[in-house]
Chains A and B, each alone.
Chain A
Amino acid sequence: MFKKILIANRGEIAVRVMSTCKRMGIKTVAVYSEVDSRSLHVREADEKAFLGGSRPKDSYLAKKKIIDVAISHGCQAIHPGYGFLSENPEFAEMVSRSGLAFIGPPATVIAQLGDKMSAKAFAKKLGIPVKPGHEECISTLKEAAAIAEQIGYPLMIRPARAGGGRGIRVVDSKEMLRTAVESCQNESRKAFGTDEFFMERYIERIRHIEIQIIADHYGNVIHLGERECSIQRRYQKIIEETPSTAVDDSLRERMGAMACNLAREACYANAGTVEFILDSRNKSVYFLEINTRLQVEHPVTEMVTRLDLVELQLRVAAGERLQIRQEDVIGTGWSVEARICAEDPARNFLPVTGMITRYAAARIKNVRIDSSVEAGSLVSTYYDSLLSKVIAWGETRTEAIESLVQALNAYHIEGLITNIDFVNAVLNHPSFIEGDLSTDFIAEHFERGEMKLPPPEEWLHFMAIAATLIYHNRQSLVHESLKPMMTKVGSPHQSKDQFTYLTKAEDVFLELRLTVNPAPHNWTVMVNGVKYQVVTPEFEFYRRRIKLRIGGKTQFFHTRYRDNNIWVAYRGVTRTFGIYTPLEWKLFYHMPKPKKVPPEDVVRCPMPGVIVAIPIKQGDRIYRGQDLVSIESMKMETFVASPSDGLIEKIHVAPGQAVETGDVLIKLKTDVLPSENE
């Protein structure tokens, strides 16, 4: 077994590999770039080495530098993680040539299977079904008709120069082919100036299923079950689970056999994943590609098989034989993972940057969190936006999902926008709970990051209860704090134990009656007439989450005071509650309605200075809060952010120009949101 290895990666995978190494007594060397100098992975390692600039090509992709570091630190192997150089055959070759072990398959295998086309050809040769489609682009109806016979219907025609979904046509039968080709070509000519197109089989409701395999250098290959990765946004997975609701034992055996066969024939070694697409309607599977590395979502397999995949990787790379046989692999229970990324779901998942000012996760049974960040971590533009993974295990799928949901309810990251609530909303969607998944899930059920379905009444009640109890308890605390100042004359009449509040949050209006029960922390709350028994914890008002037992079941909520309102997030639903006494509510009737302020369509200069840089250009689509112009003022560089969503209409300034407070820098064309037309 290796004594010391170098991990040629960063973020949560580096931390993950290091934790297994620590357990096995293997020393670790971390490499880092400028911007990562105080990252978690650097601190977790036994030794560290600085690589260079923040751009990947200066650091994490600098093959020679990494190998030099490994040799100079006395490492015996390099673990490439995922992404970066993990599927780079050149790097694998360089590593083995320099006498180190590359923890992954041999370079030749990576080269052969890494190329999508050659992998597909290889699979086809082995009789593994591949999604029918024609590789080259064509431009005549005659060619189309011929290929259509091969592919079969329904099929999809898409322009060679794809963009924004334009020109894509689905053809259900031979009769419709001619019209489809013609209209596709028309649109393609107009949009892209060419009329060439691709043809491939069209599969509705695709599910993305992958098989985890592990092989040793002695020809032993086993598979560790499948993973369902259909929930994707921008073609990136965000929720993965194992096993899949679409895969029964026989299908699993079939797919596993195909995957192992492929690996065996290719002389595969170490861990890998064979990705398939499944047609939900007829359960036919088609090979998609093979990833010759460890994947982001490997923890779900680990939770269910109780195996440590990184350990298996190290053992295989060290030349050991696989001790596990296929029949030894038993999956228990269910596991679901959610990827937490620094991005804004409301703005098409635009990645965000910044420093994490608060980070807190609740400790929940059977929940594992693989995180690369903590309070004080910096998230930059140089690397992907993955912050952490939250993985839950349960005896059943329902249990696993519920544990994950509560973990997300209590997971709190401040300082950046994250997709925690979005992912939570996906997990709570009835279609997800039913197991009705496909790669279109998010497009189908969400718009601008919000669920299309309205949340169930009960959730809103729970959230209102959380907000009102926090409000009420704080008011009681204030009252208590003033007792020393109260008059001693005439002792106060006995305290009330019944309180009524009205709460309003966007579309929600509820009346809550609180009754303080004699038992400590025990409340009975009537929400619009529905009764709930609630047990509260010792209130700690600086915390951003609260745990309540409602009707005997523990529920976590995220909360935050925003001015006079309390923002609550629960199961992906967020509402800002304004809490009023009945008198305030009655008088609110007379208050003027808040004026709908039209969004700002000019970007003004906030202080006198000189323009340094303008990283955007005319016609760009920008989002509220996005940095548009950088100004140097008082020897300080600051960015001016956009006040609204929209397009850049005109830029009125240029770098080097001196500007004054209030000067118009940029004119925007703001988006007209649907609600403005009401």
Chain B
Amino acid sequence: MKERRSRNNTRKKKLKPSTVQYEKVQATQRTLNALEEMKDQTLKGGGIDLIEDQHRRGKLTARERIELLLDEGSFEEFDLLKTGRGGAFGREKTYPGDGVVTGHGTIDGREVFMFSQDFTVRGGSLGEAHSQKISKVMDHAVRVAAPIIGLNDSGGARIQEGVDALASYGDIFKRNALASGIIPQISCIMGPCAGGAVYSPALTDFIFMVEDTSYMYVTGPNVVETITHTAISHEDLGGARVHSEKSGVAHFVLPNDIMCLREVRRLINYLPSNNKQRAPILDLSDPVGRTDPALDYLVPENPNQSYDMKVCINSILDGAEFIEIQSHYARNIICGFGRLGGQTIGLVANQPSVLAGVLDNNASNKAARFVRFCDAFNIPLICLVDVPGFMPGPEQEQGGIIRHGAKLLYAFIEATVPRITVIVRKAYGGAYVVMNSKHIGSDLNYAWPTAEIAVMGPKGAAEVIFRKEIQSSPDPAKTLAARTEEYRKTYVNPFLSAQRGYIDDVIFPRDTRHRIIRSLQFLEGKKRERPDRLHGNVPL
């Protein structure tokens, strides 16, 4: 057939189905279409129905969580198409992605790595492929020294895969432990996390839990009921409340997924990306020299009256911004991050309004772990001290207050970050030494004029020193009171310590912020040296 020429005199070649070119284009098109379909399918996770189930339970899907956590459009996924082997004979059903979404993105511009378990795919259960994906992204994180965040929402090990599943867990645990202290690791428990799976979050630095929709325990209620014959719910066994108030496993508890992820973003802004870096400086325009006259009167005149240490904390930190770790656990000690002069600092403070601020088992544990985290990540430590001692009683002694107290002592001594202490009121006995005193290597120690630095309280001391006199006196109570007063006036003040140089200065409380920031300024260049050993033997 003769080709018809068009008006413009160009040739219009009609593509007939039999031409080779057409087939080539078609083939490429088919491949592209197939890829798109494959990806779309995987992106749907377990399907619309399961997604709706997830939503009905008050939880978000894995991808929705990632979208919330990371900066818009910054997420790049790895292993979207990775699947399991399909069982021994390759005949088991496989799921692309294998129930976890892994990749990297930015949080406020900073590169982070993350994995988010997908409960809609086989209940988020962990199999070989699943854990390989997680291991890969953790390896990337360590290699580029960036933080890793894990969003846990999993039914546990995939029973069908048998020992392979256990082996997989081991791989992850190994990486958690080896990365510990190199990059910050954050876990969010946003659904179930049971059995062996709990050990991965446990090895990470911070655990976030969501109220009502998350729980973690080693042994589930079913087995508990079989063995102990008492029924117990998921919530009561390992819910957010239990872990924030009783066990101290959860560092943060938030009401829902969205708030949880916001809090993760907030926390990570305080931290450096790895242990060779410093935390980013955030300048809130809070003047360095800001004095607070209210602090001069914070400590009540009556030594038996308590006050809220948080008033002091809010006063000295930049913008009164403070993110508290484990706020419902061991409330007699306050640990958290704040900023001074824009720089992130780790704050450890006794809380006199709870249990008079004594150090007990839980408080020592809480503070010790926090101190070691700050040391690992170059975060200076600020200590506000008002501690009357260690908590007495057989319960504490049998609980091992000796070991736990030693833990905190060890943690402080080992820390080579700049350490500054301000003694606000009481600092008695061993607790004085443990709370970052000069004798254990603290860089700067200040005291308020209300500080009471002594071996023990004046009454106890008077009872011991003037025992004979009191016993032989006609009015023992009166003599004791007089001697107590005398002891208090002479010894229970910071000036004796200042005379010895154990305290660098007795400062006006209103100047606390200014003094601490000036100290941090010169400590910025502190050289950090460690003894040449693999690691010491922390009294765990």
Give bound CA distance, A587 to B62, whole Å: 12
Is A357 a contact of B315 with CB atoms below 8 Å?
yes
Choose one: B68, B282, B358; the contact of A634 (CB below 8 Å).
B358
Q: Which residues of B contact A540 (CB under 8 A)?
A: 284-286
In chain B between 379 and 395, which residues have their CB closer than 8 angstroms to a CB of chain A? Answer: 388
In chain B between 291 and 306, which residues have their CB closer than 8 angstroms to a CB of chain A? Answer: 292-298, 302, 304-306
Is A538 a contact of B285 with CB atoms below 8 Å?
yes
In the complex, which residue of chain A has the Cβ closest to the Cβ of B259?
A: A564
In the complex, which residue of chain B has the Cβ closest to the Cβ of A592?
A: B58
Is A635 a contact of B356 with CB atoms below 8 Å?
yes
Q: Which residues of A contact B263 (CB under 8 A)?
A: 564
Give bound CA distance, A636 to B58, whole Å: 44
**B60 close to A (CB within 8 Å):** yes
Is A357 a contact of B294 with CB atoms below 8 Å?
yes
Interface centre among B213, B297, B311, B358, by most chain A C-beta atoms within 10 angstroms, is: B297
In chain A between 481 and 512, which residues have their CB closer than 8 angstroms to a CB of chain B? Answer: 481-487, 492
Is B320 a contact of A542 with CB atoms below 8 Å?
yes
Q: Which residues of A contact B449 (CB under 8 A)?
A: none
Is A478 a contact of B110 with CB atoms below 8 Å?
no
Is B262 a contact of A564 with CB atoms below 8 Å?
yes
Q: Which residues of A contact B285 (CB under 8 A)?
A: 538-542
Q: Which residues of B contact A539 (CB under 8 A)?
A: 285
Whether A477 contacts B457 in the complex (CB less than 8 A), given A375-B294, A541-B319, comes out as no
Is A355 a contact of B355 with CB atoms below 8 Å?
no
Is A636 a contact of B306 with CB atoms below 8 Å?
yes
**B166 close to A (CB within 8 Å):** no
Give bound CA distance, A541 to B284, whole Å: 6
Q: Which residues of B contact A542 (CB under 8 A)?
A: 284-286, 290, 318-320
In the complex, which residue of chain B has the Cβ closest to the Cβ of A594?
A: B255
Give bound CA distance, A538 to B286, whole Å: 12
Choose one: A482, A591, A607; the contact of B109 (CB below 8 Å).
A482
Is B110 a contact of A486 with CB atoms below 8 Å?
yes
Q: Size class of B's contact patch?
A: 35 or more
Whether A590 contacts B58 in the complex (CB less than 8 A), given A375-B294, A487-B111, A634-B388, comes out as yes
**A606 close to B (CB within 8 Å):** yes
**A306 close to B (CB within 8 Å):** no
Is A637 a contact of B305 with CB atoms below 8 Å?
yes
Is A587 a contact of B109 with CB atoms below 8 Å?
no
Interface SS majority for chain A = loop
Q: Which residues of B contact A395 (CB under 8 A)?
A: none
Interface SS majority for chain B = loop
Is A479 a contact of B64 with CB atoms below 8 Å?
no
Whether A561 contacts B321 in the complex (CB less than 8 A), given A357-B311, A587-B60, A588-B258, comes out as yes
Q: Which residues of A contact B319 (CB under 8 A)?
A: 541-542
* A580 CB → nearest B CB, Å: 8
Give bound CA distance, A486 to B320, whole Å: 27
Contact with A along B312-337 (1 / 0, CB 8 A): 00110011110000000000000000
**B352 close to A (CB within 8 Å):** yes
**B23 close to A (CB within 8 Å):** no
Q: Which residues of A contact B292 (CB under 8 A)?
A: 357, 375
Give bound CA distance, A486 to B358, whole Å: 43
In chain B between 258 and 272, which residues have their CB closer than 8 angstroms to a CB of chain A? Answer: 258-259, 262-263, 266, 269
* A482 CB → nearest B CB, Å: 5
**B519 close to A (CB within 8 Å):** no
Give bound CA distance, A482 to B294, whole Å: 34
Q: Which residues of A contact B106 (CB under 8 A)?
A: 486
Q: Which residues of B contact A486 (CB under 8 A)?
A: 106, 109-111
In the complex, which residue of chain B has the Cβ closest to the Cβ of A637?
A: B304
Give bound CA distance, A590 to B320, whole Å: 33
Is A38 a contact of B297 with CB atoms below 8 Å?
yes
Q: Which residues of B contact A561 (CB under 8 A)?
A: 320-321
**B273 close to A (CB within 8 Å):** yes
Q: Which residues of B contact A564 (CB under 8 A)?
A: 259, 262-263, 266
Choose one: A482, A588, A594, A638; the contact of B306 (CB below 8 Å).
A638
Whether A478 contacts B256 in the complex (CB less than 8 A), given A561-B321, A587-B64, comes out as no
* B250 CB → nearest A CB, Å: 17
Choose one: B212, B256, B262, B297; the contact of A378 (CB below 8 Å).
B297
- Top-9 shortest CB links A-B: A634-B356, A592-B58, A542-B286, A376-B294, A590-B55, A542-B319, A591-B256, A541-B284, A375-B294
Query: 4 new A-B pairs (CB below 8 Å) besides A592-B58, A634-B358?
Result: A542-B285, A587-B68, A636-B304, A637-B302
A selection of 26 A-B contacts at a CB cut-off of 8 Å is: A376-B294, A376-B297, A478-B108, A481-B269, A481-B280, A481-B281, A481-B283, A482-B109, A485-B109, A485-B110, A485-B273, A486-B109, A486-B110, A487-B111, A540-B285, A541-B319, A542-B286, A564-B266, A583-B67, A587-B257, A591-B257, A592-B212, A592-B213, A634-B356, A635-B388, A637-B304
